[in-house]
Amino acid sequence: MTNLTGKVALVTGGNSGIGLAAAQELAQAGARVIITGRRKEAVEEAATLLGVDGLLADQSKLTDIETLAALVAQKYGRIDILVINAGISKLTTIENATEEVYDEVMNVNLKGAYFTISRFIPVLNDGSSIIVISSSSASKATPQTSIYASGKMAVNTVVKIAAVELAPRKIRINAVSPGPFSTAIMEKTGLSAPGMQDYIVARVPLGRLGIPAEAGKLICFLAGEDAVFITGAEYMIDGGQSLNQ
Ligand SMILES: NC(=O)c1ccc[n+]([C@@H]2O[C@H](COP(=O)([O-])OP(=O)(O)OC[C@H]3O[C@@H](n4cnc5c(N)ncnc54)[C@H](OP(=O)(O)O)[C@@H]3O)[C@@H](O)[C@H]2O)c1
């Protein structure tokens, strides 16, 4: 099992779903964990549940990201594990897309992820691990996912370039790309209706949705010493869904 004793980890969007599960796995592995989120009550509730620290930050806003980085540096010193997980999904055809939906999704999933990496680089110890939660959607051509998928695809490219830029400091950065997981994002995106879930599951060779803890364990592995020679990689965790185009 991964041992993260003595490490400090920050998970964005850690009050729900995959972020919450990642925070739980990292804490169980011995890390001191900080979760962030944009809703005070939800962050406090999750932090209390996990016995971790909670901080408020809207990852779509550069000012919040910079304030968070400064606060973390002041309170914890440097950190060792950064999980960039906060994300949203909105479905629309390209024809019907609005500027509002485009900005809303890109501001969290691409701009937010990009500037969280950027502004936390000075707060990371040499040898740190960054894990960015992307999506199997980035490699698929599913109708109505053009904004979401292109944002995640762009993030995958940022991960590869950051891997090269940060290698001299032995900072590793990898992407984890979940397929369909049973989290609140499904409801928020309107994908949790029974007929819709059956449709999705029928396209997953392993025949079910992912469970957040399964992604949390992969994130924990990538955070630890066993993954010390892995950087710039994308790990698909989708029950084989991306094999069925
Ligand atoms: N579940 C899937 O099927 C799936 C598949 C592929 C990729 N992913 C990716 O996995 C990541 C986690 O999603 P999830 O499935 O765990 O969904 P989730 O349960 O909805 O969790 C998303 C988390 O991100 C937070 N968040 C959203 N916008 C934020 C912002 N502007 N600032 C701070 N926090 C923000 C949410 O906060 P609130 O609670 O306030 O909304 C929530 O804590 C996302 O990046 C998503 O794109 C999920």
* pLDDT for the residue 245: 60
* pLDDT for the residue 193: 79
CB atoms near residue 65 (< 10 Å): 25
Which residue's alpha carbon is at the smallest distance from atom 23 of ligand 1? 13
* pLDDT for the residue 196: 87
- Is 148 among the residues known to form the active site? yes
Rounded to whole angstroms, the Cα distance separating 141 from 139 reads 7
What ligand 1 atom has the least distance to the C-alpha of 209? 3
Q: Tell me the mean pLDDT in the region 235-241.
A: 97
Instruction: Please tell me if the CB atom of residue 145 comes closer than 6 angstroms to any atom of ligand 1.
Output: no
What ligand 1 atom has the least distance to the C-alpha of 137? 6
* pLDDT for the residue 65: 98
What ligand 1 atom has the least distance to the C-alpha of 136? 6
Q: Looking at the domain 8-183+212-238, which fold is it? A: Rossmann fold (3.40.50)
- pTM score over 0.85: yes
Domain residue extents for the chain: 8-183+212-238
Q: What is the pLDDT of residues 118-156, one digit of tens each?
A: 999 999 999 999 999 999 999 999 999 999 999 999 999
Q: Tell me the mean pLDDT in the region 214-232.
A: 98
- Dist. CA 19 → ligand 1 center (Å): 7
* pLDDT for the residue 191: 83
- Dist. CA 109 → ligand 1 center (Å): 9
Which residue's alpha carbon is at the smallest distance from atom 42 of ligand 1? 13
What ligand 1 atom has the least distance to the C-alpha of 42? 39
Rounded to whole angstroms, the Cα distance separating 60 from 70 reads 17
| pLDDT of 41 strictly over 90 | yes
- Dist. CA 42 → ligand 1 center (Å): 13
Residues 6+ apart with CB under 8 A from 49: none
CB 83 within 8 A of CB 11: yes
CB atoms near residue 26 (< 10 Å): 31
Rounded to whole angstroms, the Cα distance separating 126 from 144 reads 40
Which residue's alpha carbon is at the smallest distance from atom 48 of ligand 1? 178
Q: What is the pLDDT of residues 143-195, one digit of tens each?
A: 999 999 999 999 999 999 999 999 999 999 999 999 999 999 888 888 877 78
* pLDDT for the residue 235: 98
Instruction: Please tell me if the CB atom of residue 183 comes closer than 6 angstroms to any atom of ligand 1.
Output: yes
Q: What percent of the chain has pLDDT over 90?
A: 92
Rounded to whole angstroms, the Cα distance separating 63 from 223 reads 27
Which amino acid, residue 72?
Answer: V
Q: What's the 3-state SS for the chain?
A: CCCCCCCEEEECCCCCHHHHHHHHHHHHCCCEEEEEECCHHHHHHHHHHHCCEEEECCCCCHHHHHHHHHHHHHHHCCEEEEEECCCCCCCECCCCCCHHHHHHHHHHHHHHHHHHHHHHHHHEEEEEEEEEECCHHHHCCCCCEHHHHHHHHHHHHHHHHHHHHHHHHCCEEEEEEECCECCHHHHHCCCCCHHHHHHHHHCCCCCCCECHHHHHHHHHHHHCHHHCCCCCCEEEECCCHHHCC
Q: What is the pLDDT of residues 43-82, one digit of tens each?
A: 999 999 999 999 999 999 999 999 999 999 999 999 999 9
Which of these is catalytic: 76, 102, 114, 148? 148
Instruction: Please tell me if the CB atom of residue 215 comes closer than 6 angstroms to any atom of ligand 1.
Output: no
